[in-house]
Amino acid sequence: MGSTITQGAAGASLLTLAAVATMGPNSVVMAQGATDAATGRQDEVVIVVTAGRREQSINEIARTVVVIDVSTLEENFVKTSNVVDLLGSTVPGFGAPTGIDLIRTNTLRGRDPQYLIDGVPLSFNGGSAFRTSPLTKFDPETLGRVEILYGPTAIYGAGAAGGVVQFFTRDAAEEPISVELRKQTTFFPEEDEHFGDTSLSWKSSAEISGTLDRFDYVVAASYDSQNAVIDGNGDVSGPTYYGFYDTTNYFAKAGFNITPDQRIQGFFNFSELEEDGRVFTPVPNDENFGIAVLGDNQTPYTYGDFAPTDEKLFYSISYTHSDFFGGDLEAVFYGRDDSLISSIIPLGAFPPPFPSNYQTTQDFEGTGWRLQYARDIGDRASVIVGVDYDDQSQEQRALVYDLGSDVFEARDITNLIRNDLFIYPYEVETLGIFVQAEYEVVDDLRLSLGLRYEEPEFSIEGGTRVFELTVDEDDNQVSRPGGSGGSDGLAFNIGVSYDVIDDLTVFANFSQAVELPSLGQLGNLIPPDATFESAEAIEPQIIDNYEIGLRAQAGTVAYTFAAFFSESDFGENFIYDPETLLGQYNRSPEEIYGFEVTADWEVLPQFDLLGTFSWSEGEFDPDGDGPLGFQAQSALDIQPWKATLNGQYEFNDKTSGNFQWLVVGDRDTAFDDGTDLYEITGYGVVDIGVNRDIGPGVLSVQITNLLDNLYLSPASQTYENNILFNSRVNPSAGRAISLAYKLTL
């Protein structure tokens, strides 16, 4: 659902069906239309989105777009601060909620999207990081809306093969000063001591914003204490060796209007996650799920120079001119810096060949800039041109300790014996030049054309990987060579949208992407005696994407439909090795296809229902047009079908209620074809909530997993039947109650 339903003076719902039909689910970024008293239907609503790097009416975009508004964000973040789970429960085509902050099984239509916040890229080109997520870099309470643009486009380059997920932070209040205070707590009623310190989580946040003449500002801070998750059996669920953690986040955004046409704005965000030293012992329960038992000695570990922490910093400064030679000029400079030191991975957490008693460290740095110019050409055409530059580096290492069998009693993590094992460090520089044009051929027919030139260059350090299985005749791990590479390519897109009648718009598009391989995984692809420069595995893939769809309204029901097909001749596909039980990456032809449907029904002026359904499938040819033919892609890339039913009901002008029924289906095609070791088993989850205006503030209550189902998310099921990772097969959260109070001054 896009918004809590409120009543206008004439009794019309502010959540118009025209808006939902145009936007897709989860959206209310709109102007109110007038209601026809005889039919109950409303005039067309103009909805403006900016994920396309300039303001556009949604009807002008010949592709699927979803917008999540601030009220939907606030409703969902009463349940959780996990951005991955928000997208998984609201966005069709995005993987189901995982219950963890990692992006695992969370592609968009089977491919990785690019994540940005106020135009700053959060995800790195060349593959995602191990044990980290671009969606943990900020406090979601600073967000004002989220826009999802499906499929590759000329205006976004490598790293955006699945589309773009753009987060926009809140705007400043119009008055000189506005203060918002928020307190939230979550507990599990089935736990024996649900108000104890094992699982009780809480969060406090404060925001101050305002506008003073030509200056505006937003400053926010939060403290989030997350403890254990309790499953449907009342047991502590993992990941069992990561520990409990507290997160502090600081955010600031300020802007100054130099003239009515010129503006300069900067923003800064810093978050720090710290673990408190408690580590659970993983044990299986009767269902063979991984649960956790808290040891008697809970004195925090003593670390040397590598105490667990996760620090993330990003910042930007931008300049805009809305009348630069008759067009809009925008320049942005940004930077980011991530540093992660994990908790100890204890003895026995993984069997050989994995090392025991180790930590991982990760360091990511990046800077970049964007320059673009957009202008209208007459009344029917517009064009946007731009240049993007991004420079990033990453390094991930393992620290191996000699701790002995008494580590849980001694709590001493200081005897470091090795720190030179890693997942390949690399650096990537990317230059992109693009042009995108829109043309209204006639009043109801619109055409879009785009072209992007992309030139990425990268270098990779050689050495010994942490989980390397290749050994020489003396049983020493083999050191692989480093190297460098580069490529360039053109990506093209064309789209058309046509208003068949007033309440029916159809669209179609073809788009391409140039995508780098996962550079950190090249050790799985390149033999030890090969060089990176000569290896076919470093070649980027060209992705061709096709989409058709419609947006329509019939009476009080608005609906959308979109079908897609994408293919590449040199894709990157994951497949398990039955001998080592580790994954291998295979560069081979691939095809991904599927569809999404949404329907919104205004049952009553105060009652609205929204349903969504998405399904996709993917296949690849592991031997490249050989005798094996195509087989199903892994569940790490292709998720099972997903359906949601959301309801909003306004009891009166102070009280509203909501519910969501999320259903995730089965998927066994990859297991049957031998790609995966596991079958995905479906499940259903029901959440309910109520919001009550109690004077100066709003009290919200949300109950998640109302029926207290015991189930595994698809992300957790991807560890099943693998003795190397079965300690990570952890059930999702059982019934939980979250209380939040927001006070605005």
Q: Which residue has the higher pLDDT, 297 or 395?
A: 395
**Selected residue with higher pLDDT from 129 and 481:** 481
Burial 277-305 (b: 16+ CB within 10 A, else e): bbbbebeeeeeebbbbeeeeeeeebebee
The mean pLDDT of 231-239, rounded to a whole number, is 76
* pLDDT at residue 613 tops 50: yes
The pLDDT, as a whole number, for residue 284 is 67
Segment 504-520 mean pLDDT: 86
Residue 555 has pLDDT above 60, yes or no: yes
Distance of CA 520 to the CA centre of its chain: 20
What pLDDT is stored for residue 510 in this prediction? 96
In tens, the pLDDT along 723-742 reads 777 767 788 889 999 999 99
Please compute, for residue 659, the number of CA atoms within 13 A of its CA located in the half-sphere on the CB side: 13
pLDDT, residue 686, reads 97
Q: What is the dihedral of CA 551, 554, 558, 563, to 10 degrees?
A: -40
650-673, pLDDT tens digit by residue?
999 999 999 999 999 999 999 999
CA atoms within 13 A on the CB side of 184: 29
Find the range with the poorest average confidence among 110-119, 249-258, 525-534. Answer: 525-534
What contacts 24+ positions apart, CB below 8 Å, involve 11-17? 11/605, 12/42, 12/605, 13/602, 13/605, 13/606, 13/608, 15/602, 15/608, 15/648, 16/42, 16/45, 17/41, 17/42, 17/553, 17/556, 17/557, 17/558, 17/600, 17/602
Residue 106 has pLDDT above 70, yes or no: yes
Beta strand extents in 578-654 (DSSP E only): 583-604, 607-620, 631-632, 642-650
Domains defined for the chain, CATH in brackets: 17-744 (2.40.170.20)
Specify the range with the lowest mean pLDDT, choosing from 96-105, 127-136, 137-146, 312-321.
127-136
**Higher-pLDDT residue of 649, 674:** 649
The H or E element spanning position 265 is strand 262-275
Window from 60-64, 174-178, 203-207, 301-305 with minimum mean pLDDT: 301-305
Report how far residue 339's alpha carbon sits from residue 485's, in angstroms, rounded to the nearest whole number: 26
Structural tokens at position 168: 């926009």
pLDDT of residue 45: 40
- Which of 52, 55, 45 minimizes the C-alpha distance to 15? 45
Q: How confident is the model at residue 525 (pLDDT cuts 50, 70, 90)?
A: low
Distance from C-alpha of 514 to C-alpha of 429, rounded to nearest angstrom? 14
567-603 per-position pLDDT tens digit? 998 888 888 877 766 677 778 899 999 999 999 999 9
Report the DSSP beta bridge partners of residue 341: 309, 361
pLDDT confidence of residue 669? 94
- Report pLDDT digits (tens) over 678-712: 899 999 999 999 999 998 899 999 999 999 999 99
Percent with pLDDT over 70 in the chain: 77
- Band of residue 352 on the pLDDT scale cut at 50, 70, 90: low
Tell me the average pLDDT of the chain.
Answer: 81
Q: What DSSP state is assigned to residue 243?
A: -
| CA proximity to 289, closest of 727, 736, 733 | 727
Confidence of residue 427 (pLDDT cuts 50, 70, 90): confident
Query: How many residues are listed for the chain in this entry?
Result: 745
Q: What is the per-residue pLDDT for 42?
A: 36
Determine the pLDDT at residue 404.
66
Q: How far are the Cα atoms of 12, 43, 557, 598 from residue 553, in angstroms, in the given order?
A: 17, 11, 6, 11
Residue-level pLDDT at 29 = 32
